[in-house]
Amino acid sequence: MQGNGFKIGLTIFFVGLCGFYLFPSVQNLYVNYKMSNMEEAERVEYQEENRQRLNNLERNSLSLGLDLQGGMHVTLEVEVANLLDQLAVNQDEAFQDALQTARQRAEQEDVSVVEAFVEEFEAANPDGRLSRYFRNEAQGQGQGQSQEITRRSSNSEVQEYLQAQAESAVQNGIEVVRNRVNQYGVTEPSIQQQGSERIVVELPGVNERKRVRDLLESASQLSFHLMANPQQLQESVQRIIDYYEPTAEDSARIAEANAADTADTSAGPADTSGTAEGTQLAASEQEAPNDEGATALTEPGEGETGPQNPLLAAMQPMPRQDQPVFGRVFASDTAKVNELISKREVKKMLPPGIELMWTANSRFTTEDGREALQLLAVQAEPELAGEVVTQASVQFDRQTNEPKVSITMNSEGAREWDRITAANVGNNVSIVLDNLVYSNATIQTRISGGRTEITGLDSRQEAQDIVTVLQSGRLSTDLNIISERTVGPSLGEASTRAGFISVISGFLLVVLFMIMYYRTAGVVADIALLLNVILILGILAGFGATLTLPGIAGIVLTIGMAVDANVLIFDRVREEQATGKTLRAAINAGYEESLSAILDANITTFFVGVILYSFGVGPIKGFAVTLMAGILSSLFTAIIVTRIVFDYMVEERRMSVSYG
Amino acid sequence: MRLFENADYALIPNRHIGYVISGTLLTIGVISLLVKGLALGIDFRGGMEFVVGNTTDINTVEIRSALTETLEDEPEVKRFGDTGHLIRISTTKDITTMENRLLSTLQQQFPDHDVGIEKTDVVGPRFAEDLKRGAIYAVLGALLVIFLYIMVRFEWRYSLGAVAALVHDVTITLGLFSVLAGLVPFSLQIDQSIIAAFLTIVGYSLNDTVVVFDRVREYVNLFKTEPFDEVVNRSINATLSRTVVTSVTTLIVVSILFFFGGEVLRGFSFALIIGVIIGTYSSVFVASPTIVELNRRLEKSAA
């Protein structure tokens, strides 16, 4: 028994580790059970009070796959071929042919579009230089550009450049998808890159297939938009608030309050001083701490009595004479406001050609850490497409050392920009990507020559964010759904139940069979089996894997196959006993002699698991993971744990163990 | 309880019976594979699959005829569980359009049922191509790795025996899938999960074979004077109890999956049931006889 100290220690360590990882899951189950027994009101209150803790529990628990909890699993692909088409200038027939063939090849073979394109082009034009299509040295100074392609760049340099562009398009796609999903308001969405051109989006609990498809597939393009006239906008805001007003008296009260507000806030836009010669836009930030609008941002609707205006309950209007701001909304309330402002009657009340758009990042955080977004009134028609931007970078003001964004446009864009800024000095302009406003600023002066600066920014980070959007959003990223799997909530529930019943009944039947067949030794094998299931779940929780239906099938299968190692050992012990050995000698021989067969048999199955994992997609990976986890833990429990028990029974307690 | 204790069956001497059984099953399977072929699921072919709920007492034929016109294609319709139907179309048209047409047609035709969509699976042609490639790589990779591992651990004869058993098992299971497709009330199309089931069968069958071979290896050194045939027969008999017990426990769990695991897992667990039975049979009647036959050839050419 002395030599078993290490084994016992190891067992306790593993079991403890699994217990540690499984603890949140068990707690979560308990909390959910408790909440399901509460009254509706009580539950809401409980959730409010323990929001932080509940979120933590949820995050650390063993998560269920979409096939069990219901939801959508969408695989998107970035159209790299279209990207090449957009990037290339001076396109000729050779280019079009190579791109066309590459497109087809990428569909049938395991090759990326960029690789196939370069290969095809080189095969068709042995002396051709790709650099003639992708030169970019004339446009910018190379700064901020990922790579510079000159007339003399080799084809492999161009290939590298194209790959980098494709990579950034995928990154941009992920960013776009994340923003869209956040706007949609899903709890715990997962957005991941798969391979070089694909994005996998998992939306638990979502069943509105059409809406999600439209949301994910629509093309995104960076553009510059003029914004609504603030005075005109204020009239619209008032009309819309009135529209939602429940009673006449309440309406009057709110109108009065708003009128007072409007009169109070007459402060101009942020930083207009130090205007440089003809390049200036000032970012429109109203974040001064003593700003009326900012300090007024409390929990809306708090302390109100009587019928509430649903819009004012979710949104804080921001009446300002000079800014096209519709209102401020807590991030958690955006879905509510979206619903209210998407009504057709309400849209009609906005000034003609104006659309409401959210700011991309929460610029305001209230004292208790809640994020708030602004709703801005933007002209729906873009003035200028983002592709005119050739370069964008963060710079610092020489005197004040404040961060600013410097933008360079191509000659065509510069001409348009000159015209637009000349006609709109004092008006607002916004940088929009995918219906989200990333930056809005006031045009300070007519900007000729194509070099623009955005000043009055808060932080280097803000400047950097704008630059990132300008750089990555120049090119439109087309996303296509190439696979979609959705499971409705009731089917998911049925699958969970079926999986649970299978695990329990499979376990019980195998346990009974083992006891019937091997008596005392069977009981020991059953203890090992129970431990085995706990270890598998612990391994899954520890590695943050999700439990899918095929994963549960893997566990059930493991329950049946895991006893094999013990069957091998026990049968060997019986054989050894039959040759006349003592119990102790028979046990020793049984474990020793069967080890090679157990290892050989399990290693091969483990290899199968590894291969399934590397080539499988989605749910199959879940099966492979549980299969591998099952093999590892069953080897451990069947060889080490049962041995400890037998040693204890035979050597310490001098018991006689029946092998049936 | 003891089964097959001190078993002493003349298995190797009667291996010809096994040859007849295997030969028949293989012939039927291969003919069916050639004539009828295998039905590929949408994973490998591309297309759309919908599961509609609350259609309990509607006939599959009614649904098919109701949908054929609107979908401009005759869909495959199967029962799905107790309350629904599975509808499969091999089109590349817009998902939303097809889904709307399907749902509105069913709601119009069967207004007294609250028909709703429970599950959708859409796989584009390019993605299907990738999944197919992945599956082929997975199967070939698994066979190669297993062959190499057995080569390293055992002699080449054993390797051949093990691989012969694997090919035998997978061919017969595939053959049965081809023969039974359409005859059983659940879907037997080859999709990703069936590939996973096949690889699991490969692993299981090998597990069984390795245990017998391990014993052969041991007994060859122990009973040096006995002819190889008898050593193999003795080894099979010595491990028979274990072979049967493990098969029983595994069969218990895969049958439970088949009956209680829900409609989604039915094809998968069906493949496993067949695989476990064939895999157990093949380690006794295919893998072991193969090494016996190989040994005979070897001895003959040496003499």
- Structural domains for chain B: 15-41+128-302 (1.20.1640.10), 47-123 (3.30.70.3400)
Domain A73-218+478-487 has CATH 3.30.70.3400: yes
Based on the number of CB atoms within 10 Å of its own CB, is A381 exposed (0-12), middle (13-18) or buried (19 or more)? exposed
Lookup: tokens for A631: 């093999």
Q: Which residues of B touch A607 (CB under 8 A)?
A: 142, 145-146, 149
Beta strand spans in A490-605 (E): 546-547
Q: Phi/psi at A278 (nearest 5 deg)?
A: 60, 30
Residue A607's nearest CA partner among B273, B277, B199 is: B199
Q: Which of B257, B259, B272, B277 to mutate to test the interface with A (most CBs of A within 10 A)?
A: B257
Beta carbons within 8 Å of B161's beta carbon, 6+ residues apart: B209, B213, B286, B287, B288, B290, B291, B294
pLDDT of residue A304: 45
- Where does the pLDDT of residue A369 fall: very low under 50, low under 70, confident under 90, or very high at 90 and above? low
Whether A491 and B210 lie within 8 Å, measured CB to CB: no
Q: According to the model, what pLDDT value does residue A250 have?
A: 55
User: Are A601 and B134 in contact (CB < 8 Å)?
Assistant: no
For A210, nearest residue in chain B (alpha carbons) = B96
User: If you measure CA to CA, which chain B residue comes closest to A74?
Assistant: B122
Task: Identify the three-state secondary structure at position A306.
Answer: coil
User: Could A564 and B5 be called an inter-chain contact, meaning their C-beta atoms sit closer than 8 Å?
Assistant: no
Would you call B124 and A495 a contact, using CB atoms and an 8 Å cutoff?
Answer: no
Q: What is the pLDDT along chain B (303 residues), one digit of tens a residue?
A: 777 777 888 898 999 999 999 999 999 999 999 999 888 888 888 889 999 988 878 888 888 888 888 887 778 888 888 778 888 888 777 888 888 888 888 888 888 888 888 889 999 888 888 888 888 888 888 888 888 888 888 888 888 898 889 889 989 999 999 999 888 888 888 888 888 888 888 888 888 898 999 999 999 999 989 999 999 999 999 999 999 999 999 999 999 999 998 888 899 999 999 999 999 999 999 999 999 999 999 888 887
Q: Which of A523, A522, A527 is nearest to A571 (CA)?
A: A522
Distance to chain A for B4, nearest Cα, Å: 11
Alpha carbons B190 and B271: distance in angstroms, whole number: 10
Give the model's confidence band at A242: pLDDT under 50 very low, under 70 low, under 90 confident, else very high: confident
Percent of chain A with pLDDT over 70: 85
Nearest to A75 among B127, B206, B262 (CB): B127
Take residue A508 and report the two structure tokens written for it. Answer: 């019980």
The fold adopted by the segment(s) A2-64+490-652 is Multidrug efflux transporter AcrB transmembrane fold (1.20.1640)
Nearest to A553 among B199, B210, B257 (CB): B257
Return residue ranges of chain A for CATH 1.20.1640.10.
2-64+490-652
Q: How far apart are CA B196 and CA B192, in angstroms?
A: 6
Q: What is the pLDDT of residue A528?
A: 93
CB A342 within 8 A of CB A435: no
Max avg pLDDT among A173-187, A604-618, B89-103, B171-185: B171-185
The answer, yes or no, to whether residue A139 has pLDDT greater than 70, is: no
Write out pLDDT tens, residues A276-325: 445 667 665 444 333 333 334 444 444 444 567 888 888 888 776 677 88
Residue A505: what pLDDT? Answer: 95
How far does B259 lie from chain A, in Å, by closest CA?
Answer: 9
pLDDT for the residue A248: 61
In the prediction, which pLDDT does A336 show?
Answer: 80
Residue-level pLDDT at A252: 61
| Shortest Cα distance, chain B CAs vs residue A644, angstroms | 22
Question: What's the pLDDT at A472?
Answer: 66
Average confidence score pLDDT of chain A: 81
**Location of each CATH 3.30.70.3400 domain in chain A:** 73-218+478-487
- Write the residue in A549, A604, A624 that is nearest to B210 by C-beta: A604
Longest dimension (CA), chain B: 81
For residues A243 and A349, the answer to whether their CB atoms sit within 8 Å is yes
pLDDT at B101: 86
Interface test with B, best of A502, A505, A514, A520 (most B CBs within 10 A): A502
Bigger pLDDT: A119 vs A331: A119
The reported pLDDT for the residue numbered A592 is 92
Contacts of A611 in chain B (CB under 8 A): 138, 141-142, 145, 199
Task: Give A509's contacts in chain B (Cβ within 8 Å).
Answer: 252-253, 256
Nearest to B119 among A491, A502, A593 (CB): A491
Q: For residues B83 and A403, what is the distance between their CA atoms, to the nearest angstrom?
A: 63
Q: Kindly report the nearest CA distance between residue B5 and chain A, in angstroms.
A: 9
pLDDT of residue A318: 75
Residue A258 has pLDDT above 90, yes or no: no
CA angle A223, A225, A226 (to 5 degrees): 165
Does the distance separating the beta carbons of A486 and B119 come in below 8 Å? yes
What pLDDT does A260 receive?
Answer: 54
Integer CA distances (angstroms), A187 to A42, A204, A275, B182, in order: 22, 7, 45, 41
The DSSP output letter for A220 is: B
Judge: A553–B268 Cβ closer than 8 Å, yes or no. Answer: yes
pLDDT tens track for A54-83: 878 877 888 888 888 889 999 998 888 888
Which of B205, B219, B245, B268 to mutate to probe the A interface, most A CBs <10 Å? B245
A contact test, residue of B205, B242, B258, B266 with most A CBs within 10 A: B242
Instruction: Provide, rounded to the nearest whole percent, the portion of chain A with pLDDT above 90.
Output: 16
> Is the pLDDT score of A254 beyond 70?
no
Contact flag B207-A563 (C-beta cutoff 8 Å)? no
Interface test with A, best of B1, B120, B137, B199 (most A CBs within 10 A): B199
* Cβ atoms within 10 Å of A333's Cβ, excluding its own: 19
pLDDT at A142: 40
The rounded distance, in Å, linking the Cα atoms of B3 and B237 is 11
Rounded to a whole number, what is the distance in Å from the CA of A588 to chain B's nearest CA?
Answer: 17
Inter-residue contact A313 to A487 (CB < 8 Å): no
User: Can you give the pLDDT at residue A147?
Assistant: 60
Sequence-ordered list of residues with C-beta below 8 angstroms from that of B42, at least 6 positions apart, any chain: B48, B49, B88, B90, B121, B122, B123, B128, B189, B191
Mean pLDDT to the nearest integer, A627-635: 92
Nearest to B210 among A597, A618, A660 (CB): A597
Whether residues B199 and A611 touch (CB distance < 8 A) is answered with yes
Q: Which of A80, A109, A553 is nearest to B132 (CA)?
A: A109
- Looking at residue B172, what is its pLDDT? 94
Look at residue B243 in the predicted model and tell me its pLDDT. 92
**Nearest residue, CB atoms, B129 vs list A108, A597, A619:** A108
Q: For A2, which DSSP code?
A: G
pLDDT for residue A265: 39
A23/chain B closest Cα distance in angstroms: 27
Residues in chain B within 8 Å Cβ distance of A564? 207, 242, 246, 249-250
Min Cα–Cα distance to chain B from A18, Å: 25
Give the closest-approach CA distance of B92 to chain A in angstroms. 10
The pLDDT of residue B289 is: 94
Interchain proximity B196–A623, CB inside 8 Å = yes
> Are B196 and A608 contacting, i.e. CB atoms less than 8 angstroms apart?
no
Report CB contact under 8 Å: B210, A600: yes
Residue A33 pLDDT? 85
The residue among A480, A564, A570, A574 with the most chain B CBs within 10 A of its CB, best to mutate, is: A564
Contacts of A495 in chain B (CB under 8 A): 262, 264
- A505·B256 Cβ contact <8 A: yes
ipTM reported for the complex, 2 dp: 0.90
- CB distance A67–B264 less than 8 Å? yes
B210/A505 CB distance under 8 A: no
Question: What is residue A133's three-state secondary structure?
Answer: helix
Contact list in B for residue A489 (CB cut-off 8 A) is none
Inter-chain contacts counted by CB atoms under 8 A, chains A and B: 219
